[in-house]
Structure 1
Amino acid sequence: MADMQFAGKVVLITGASSGIGAATAKHFAKLGASLALAGRNRENLKKVASECDVNPTPLILTGELTNEDETKALLDKTIAHYGKLDVLVNNAGVIETGSVENTSLEQYDRVMNVNVRSIYNLTTLAVPHLIETKGNVVNVSSVNGIRAFPGVLAYCMAKAAVDQFTRCAALDLAPKQVRVNSVNPGVTVTNLHTTSGMNKEQYENFLKRSEQTHALGRPGQPEEVAGTIAFLASDHASFITGASVPVDGGRHAMCPR
């Protein structure tokens, strides 16, 4: 391989069983990383691991990130297996629809627990190990963290919180030479929206509308987000911390007229 910039580096990726997480795992594998892939679906994780052309074979970790004991176990197993951690990619997340008029507290708690609390917990647990390696964190946020959109109240709030967490943690850890950044995807072709309740026709219409809502005229691909995640985690981004990088085809810059 021409570019093995992550050879000898250990990368833990949550939500690695599909979508952006799976694409990120495959991309890091091409760059020579040793991988720990976390998710809830073991069979999907096995499939992703089999598509990662890397030695050693990725470590597969199943667990529920809203469960504190299971989250700690994910990290402990990674350290026990590899002896260190260089990069944490907080990718796992969910989206639910609902406005200020009809988003229940149950929905709010569910979205915030997965998208914010679990990131907070896993990152704080990982910090001592990242300090040892002068590693870094990349959080997967959303354009919804930068801009407000109707009908996804809890999700927008959660992603805005992820961006603020990114900035605060970056400042806290900068003296220890640990960087923290986030990527903010726009609409990306994954199973996120279909698993949140959209049927096939609704999803096709949603992607079609993305041609108008994204300046580049199309939705993104998970591989495009994965490449930005790897860049931020690499030495090429050694002077970048506390940044939220849109990977959204220009959607964050658009204003309706």
Structure 2
Amino acid sequence: MNSHEKSGKLAGRVGLITGGAQGIGRAIAERFQSEGAYVVLMDRDGATASETVRQLTEHRPSAPTIFLQADLSDPDQVHRAIDDLKNRYGRIDVLVNNAGIELDKPIGQISACEWDRILNVNLRGAFLLVQHALSLFPESGGTIVNISSIHATHAFPHSIPYACSKAGLLALTRNLALELAPRRIRVNAICPGYIDTRLWEEYLRHTPDPDAVASQTTALHPVGRRGLPADVAEAALFLASDGASFITGTNLVIDGGLTIRAHA
């Protein structure tokens, strides 16, 4: 057992991270593990998740990372996954609702099924997880971190379902923070800006000139770069740790100053 397992910021705590197979979720899992947490990943992508689990477990064999496969839009799958977590650990200390999907279409081309899919995964999935996991939080409390987006507070072209789902996640965050405060469960949100992830790369590939779009996007940031998954992971670690014990119901924007410039 290394020093972080004994005295890290999340030493001995059980952290469940949805969408943890890659990107921001994986970065959060790696950071939590480095601070002594027992990491549980939930994702629908079993192939990618298995490789992430293997690498995390190799890094810390004394506390193997657990993978729970579930589609967050399916209440039965969510319920079974939480039951599995209960059987393995008996509790949860930190829940990170990170899983999310996007859709880049104008309003006239969005089907009702596409709308439902985005809202079901991004918003209802978080609601279902909190609802089913609530009984596993100890009497000493815990933390919930919801990964929202700057799309929740600022308008961008062709992102209506995604923006609505992320705005709903902010409302869920505030109301959960109020309702769960007596149980000593803190609830906060993070709004990332442009982060270099698989979703961002997929978006670029569908643009006429990916290199030009990437350069233009970078130029929008006062700090001179786009974000990295590790930037969001550091924020998630802070909100999940005792260092944020007096913080609940807030929204931490991680966007390199992008939205400040939007208001300038």
How many angstroms apart in 1 are the aligned matches of 2:211 and 2:170?
29
Aligned residues of 1:210 and 1:217 also touching (Cα < 8 A): no
Number of equivalenced pairs: 257
Residue matched to 2:179: 172
> CA shift at 1:160, angstroms?
0.6
TM-score, normalising length from structure 1?
Answer: 0.93
> CA shift at 1:194, angstroms?
4.1
Corresponding position: 1:5 with 2:9: yes
How many angstroms apart in 2 are the aligned matches of 1:203 and 1:180?
37
Q: Indicate the RMSD between aligned Cα atoms, in angstroms.
A: 1.9
> CA shift at 1:246, angstroms?
0.5
Which segment is superposed worse, 211-220 or 171-180?
A: 211-220
- Which of residues 94, 98, 104 is equivalent to 1:97? 104
- Which of residues 152, 157, 167 is equivalent to 1:150? 157
Q: Given residue 15 of structure 1, which amino acid in structure 2 is its aligned partner?
A: G
Residue matched to 2:197: 190
- Aligned-residue identity in percent: 34
Aligned residues of 1:146 and 1:252 also touching (Cα < 8 A): no
How many angstroms apart in 2 are the aligned matches of 1:102 and 1:133?
48
How many angstroms apart in 2 are the aligned matches of 1:217 and 1:196?
20
Corresponding position: 1:23 with 2:27: yes
Distance 1:256 1:179, change over 3 A: closer
> CA shift at 1:42, angstroms?
2.1
Q: Given residue 222 of structure 1, which amino acid in structure 2 is its aligned partner?
A: P
Residue matched to 1:34: 38
> CA shift at 1:201, angstroms?
6.4
How many angstroms apart in 2 are the aligned matches of 1:107 and 1:86?
33
Extract unaligned runs of 5+ from structure 2: none
Distance 1:153 1:198, change over 3 A: farther
Q: After superposition, where does 1:1-257 map in structure 2 within 5 Å? A: 1=3, 4-52=8-56, 53-54=59-60, 55-130=62-137, 132-195=139-202, 198-199=205-206, 202-255=209-262
How many angstroms apart in 2 are the aligned matches of 1:214 and 1:156?
20
> CA shift at 1:207, angstroms?
2.5
Which segment is superposed worse, 42-51 or 74-83?
A: 42-51
Which segment is superposed worse, 124-133 or 189-198?
A: 189-198
Aligned residues of 2:144 and 2:240 also touching (Cα < 8 A): yes
How many angstroms apart in 2 are the aligned matches of 1:202 and 1:130?
48
> CA shift at 1:51, angstroms?
2.7
> CA shift at 1:150, angstroms?
1.8
Aligned residues of 1:194 and 1:200 also touching (Cα < 8 A): no
* SS of equivalent to 2:191: strand
